[in-house]
Amino acid sequence: MSRKQLTIGILGGMGPMATADLFQKIINHTPATRDQDHLRILIDNNPQIPDRTAALNGSGPSPAPELHKTAEGLIQSGADFIIVPCNTAHYFVHPLAKEFNVPVLSMIKTTADYVSEHFPKVKKVGLLATSGTIIAGVYNKVFQEKGIDVSAPSPEQQEELVMGAIYGPDGIKAGNIRKPRKKLAKAARILEKEGAEALLMACTEIPLALRQEDVDVPLLDPTDILAQAAVKKALQC
């Protein structure tokens, strides 16, 4: 007898495009030949969750209460575990997870495990992320435990190239791709020159623009890695 499939709860809305991207990637990684083979997925696309980077730099309210409320709604609706398509949000979600009666599958940990398993020779990764993720240091601790250094752009490059690509008037959150791709590719090449042996697209908007052909080292998508891990967990295999 096959095991019961688990229901995935996606705590989304940070931002909506990234949430849709994760949903699509879960579908892509599910071994299915008919509708009934796919997984049950509950999505709360809550764009009213306060900005995570603003909270970390002291210019906005904490997203923790809204994250907690959204997660509890997913649990009450039947989610067996929760995934969060926002790297920066993991700083706030980790302490909250102790209050939930279902597990939270961490994008950060699944990415570190993936790099360690599939790229065992990599000892330095470049981090393309929001300033909030960098300030929070969510990737640094987990990767350093595996003997992998994490490097980020300089503050000036981070603001102009990465944050500009994500939050700028022509940025990804405004629905644009072409100009953000150029900025992100420039930031990525700088990290390559500084010794990064792989690059992490550690903001869920970045994979919507940046492509492997833009760089010469492996370009890793934590959203896709999380999607694979979620499918495996839901199928209990």
Q: Is cis: bond before 15, omega within 30 of 0?
A: yes
**Which has the closest alpha carbon to 79: 128, 6, 172, 137?**
6
Say whether pLDDT at 174 is over 60: yes
Share of the chain above pLDDT 70, in %: 99
For residue 100, the model assigns a pLDDT of: 95
Tell me what pLDDT residue 3 has: 73
Residue 2 lies in a domain: no
Q: Which residues are catalytic?
A: 86, 203
* 175: nearest Cα among 208, 128, 224: 208
Is 181:209 a contact under the CB 8 Å cutoff?
Answer: yes
Do residues 12 and 61 share a domain?
Answer: yes
**Do 101 and 162 share a domain, yes or no?**
no
Residue 3 falls inside a structural domain? no
Summarize pLDDT for 3-20 with one digit per residue, the tens. Answer: 789 999 999 999 898 899
Token look-up 């699509």 returns 24
- Of 133, 124, 195, nearest to 158 (Cα)? 133
Total tally of structural domains belonging to the chain: 2
DSSP letter for each residue of the chain: -PPPPPPEEEEE-SSHHHHHHHHHHHHHHS--SSGGGSPPEEEEE-TTSPPHHHHHTTSS--SHHHHHHHHHHHHHTT-SEEE-S-TTTHHHHHHHGGG-SS-EE-HHHHHHHHHHHH-TT--EEEEE--HHHHHHTHHHHHHHTTT-EEE---HHHIIIIIIHHHHSTTSGGGT--HHHHHHHHHHHHHHHHTT-SEEEE-STTGGGT--GGG-SS-EE-HHHHHHHHHHHHHTT-
Could you list the residue range(s) of the whole structural domain that residue 55 is in?
8-106+224-234
Q: Which pLDDT score, from 0 to 100, does residue 237 have?
A: 79
One domain for residues 119 and 216: yes
Residue 93 falls inside a structural domain: yes
Residue-wise pLDDT for 89-131, tens only, equals 999 999 999 999 999 999 999 999 999 999 999 999 999 999 9
Domain co-membership, 143 together with 193: yes
- Tens of pLDDT along 123-152? 999 999 999 999 999 999 999 999 999 999
Residue 191 covered by a domain: yes
Are 136 and 214 part of one and the same domain? Answer: yes
| Mean pLDDT for all residues in the chain | 95
Same domain as 157, residue 86: no
- The amino acid that residue 42 corresponds to is L
Residues 117 and 215 in one domain: yes
pLDDT digits (tens, 9 = 90+) for 47-56: 999 999 899 9
Q: What is the CATH number of the domain that holds 156?
A: 3.40.50.1860
Q: What are phi and psi of 209, to 5 degrees?
A: -120, -50
Does 1 map to a domain? no
Sheet-wide strand order for 149-151: 149-151, 124-128, 198-201, 219-220
Q: Do 132 and 204 fall within a single domain?
A: yes
Residue 199 lies in a domain: yes
Give the C-alpha separation, 69 to 157, whole Å.
Answer: 36
Same domain, yes or no: 123 and 211: yes
pLDDT band at 2 (very low <50, low <70, confident <90, very high): low
Domain-located, residue 158:
yes
Could you tell me if residue 216 is inside a domain?
yes
Residue 1 has pLDDT above 50, yes or no: no
Same domain, 23 and 69: yes
Q: Based on the domain organization, do 230 and 216 belong to the same domain?
A: no
Do 73 and 29 fall within a single domain? Answer: yes
